[in-house]
Amino acid sequence: MKTSKPFGLRTCSTALTIGSFILMALTGVLMFFDTVPGDISTENVLGQLEAHGIRTTADQNIRDLAARHDVDEFHVLGLVFLAD
């Protein structure tokens, strides 16, 4: 007759390791494919900048806009993504 091992850390460590790996992998995949809530389309970004007096086209980048209007890049991004 086989005797059972006492319940301890060694008996459940493999199951806990596998379970935590699955949980972390699933969480990482969900975080990777998460989208920013709200409408972050090109038209929305251009509209937000135009509302603050910065005229742009879709082929310009943030660095060029900031240099043209004498502000830093973070200020331009703040105008788009932060609430008034």
Domain membership flag for residue 49? yes
Domain membership flag for residue 17? no
Distance CA 48, CA 81 (A): 9
Domain membership flag for residue 5? no
Mean pLDDT across 45-54: 81
Q: Is the pLDDT of residue 70 over 80?
A: yes
> Coil, strand or helix: which one is 65?
helix
Domain membership flag for residue 70? yes
Find the farthest-apart pair of alpha carbons in the chain and give their distance in angstroms, rounded: 84
Domain membership flag for residue 67? yes
Domain carrying residue 77: 42-81
CA atoms within 13 A on the CB side of 43: 1
Q: What pLDDT was estimated at residue 22?
A: 94
Distance CA 18, CA 53 (A): 54
Domain membership flag for residue 74? yes
**What is the pTM for the complete model shown?**
0.43
Domain membership flag for residue 2? no
Task: Give tens-digit pLDDT for 51-66.
Answer: 878 788 878 888 888 8
- Domains in the chain, number: 1
- The conformation of residue 2, written as its DSSP 8-state character, comes to P
pLDDT band at residue 13, thresholds of 50, 70 and 90? confident
